Structures are given as C-alpha cells and as structure tokens.
Amino acid sequence: MRPIVAYFLMLFLIVSTFLGGCRPTGAQATPTEIERQKAAVETLRKTVPKDTTLAGYYFVLDPGHGDNDPGAIRTSKRKDGTLYHASESILTIDMARRLAWYLKMRGASGVYMTLGPNEIINADNDQYTYWEPSNPPPILKELKTLLPASRHAYWPLEIALTPRTEVVNQKVRTYGRKKVIFISIHVDSTNPSVRGMRVYSYYGVRTILGEHIAKNAKNKGIARTKKVGPVEISFFSTMYAGFIVMNPQFNSAGEKILIETTNIRNNNDFKKLCTAEGRESVVHVIGEGIILYCQAQKK
C-alpha cells in the first residue's frame, strides 16, 4: 500500500504546484477593471479611421442637464455592498467628450460643447468662456416677451437652456446654417421595459441626420424597443418633441436633434452606461450615423 500512497502524494503535489502557478498572485497578475475598460475602449477606437469625411462641418454638442441639475439618477450596489450613484449629467458629459473625439478623428472642422447654464466649452482646446450675468446674450433679453405668460414662472429653466442655443447661433452666423449641426445628448429614464436609443427632432421639423442615426442604431441592435410580455416591439425611427434646445425660434442650425442614448432604468442599458466601453460603443453608433448623413449630403 505504501507505494500507492506515495504515488498519490506525489501526484497531489504536482497538481497543486500546477494549479498554484495558474492562480493570480497579486494585482499585477490580473488587470484592474479600469485597465480592462481602457483596453476595450482603445480596441473600439482603432476601428475609427482618421480622415476628412467631416471637413467643413461644425458641431455643437450639448450634454443634457448639468450644473445644479443632475438629470436622471440611479443608485446601484457594488459587489462589496457599497452604493454608488450614476447621474445623467455626468454620463452625458462623458459621452459628449467621446463623440467630440470621434468627430475630430473624422475631420470635423470644429467641435464645441455647451456645459450648463452659463458655461461654454470648446472641445478643441477645453478652454472655458462664460456669459457675464450682467451682459447676457441678446436672446435672453428677448425671450421673456416671446414665451407665453404661463411659461414666465419657469424663467430660471429657460435661462439655463437658451445660452446653449446661442452657441449654435454664433456658429451659424460664422459658418452658415447648413454647416452647423447641433446634437443634444441625454439618457432616458422612462419605463424599465423600454431600452435603446431614440432620436428626436422639433415638432414638424424633419431631421435627415436623425433618420440616419436612428437607422444605424437599428442596424446595430440598439434602436428603441419596448417589451410587452415576451415580445419586444420596435418604435418608429424618430419622434417629434418640443424640447426648447431644438426650437427653431431659438436654434438656427440646419440640423438639430436630441438623442436619448439609452434608458438608465433598464437593467441592460444601465450596465452599458456604467462602463466606458459601453458608452464608447453608443457614441460610435451616433458617429457612424453622422458620417452616413454627411456622405449623403456630398453626393
């Protein structure tokens, strides 16, 4: 019996040594989640060509909400039991910056961002400029007379939104209406059964750009759907809404859209929003739709 016992003991030691060598021995043996996300984003970005497809176009990106308005918020629990909060304003700023990178890679002549009630950022150099409260843009001085009396109670909200549209109007005056594109980026927070991307234009104003983005979202499997029982029903490609940042009375850009990128209350969408890779992939769908639109305009 002794030779048999010795044999199994030796076999046990060999297997233990082998398995021990395969186990992570420390932080350096296994990449951190941040490193993994960075690598995933870099892999996605390697698929984006550097060219001049968007030359001659100027983009104003509007990360929804911001300043004292966080937008939609969802609280979730980490594996260690601690809570963390994901706010729409932080997510939209992140996606806007990623989209700015994409647009510059594809040769956009200018990319600008609005960041809140009184701030404007130029995505090319990250230099802030401010509207002086004592000298607001002309549109703010005129707005109160243009709005119905019932809306005057919401004056602070309008102040927060209209400087964003004035950024667009400045660029239109410089580069022309057809060369300036306005994209407001948001995160949906409707029924959890709804998922995917939805593109809006202002009431009665057709958006060819939005149609290209919505079609690309459908092709990539992230178009807006709603689950009814076991069945997922697809929505129409674009919808109309009365968002003030798209109102032609305030926004003079030729193409102006608002995108609800995903739904923060839908579990699958939320997982995507919570990773850099997921947000980057959403941005690429938008960017590809923009490329399709601009290529069609040049034909």
| pLDDT tens column, 241-264 | 999 899 999 999 999 999 999 999
| pLDDT tens column, 25-68 | 333 435 687 788 889 999 999 999 999 999 999 999 998 887 66
Pick the CATH number of 31-297 from 3.40.630.40, 3.30.499.10, 3.20.20.80, 1.10.3470.10: 3.40.630.40
Domain ranges across the chain: 31-297
pLDDT value at 167 more than 50: yes
| pLDDT tens column, 105-118 | 999 999 988 864 44
What's the pTM value of the predicted model, to 2 decimals?
0.78
Closest residue by Cα to residue 54 from 180, 207, 198: 180
- The pLDDT of residue 269 is 92
- The pLDDT of residue 67 is 63
Q: What is the mean pLDDT of residues 208-222?
A: 93
Q: What is the mean pLDDT of residues 217-245?
A: 81
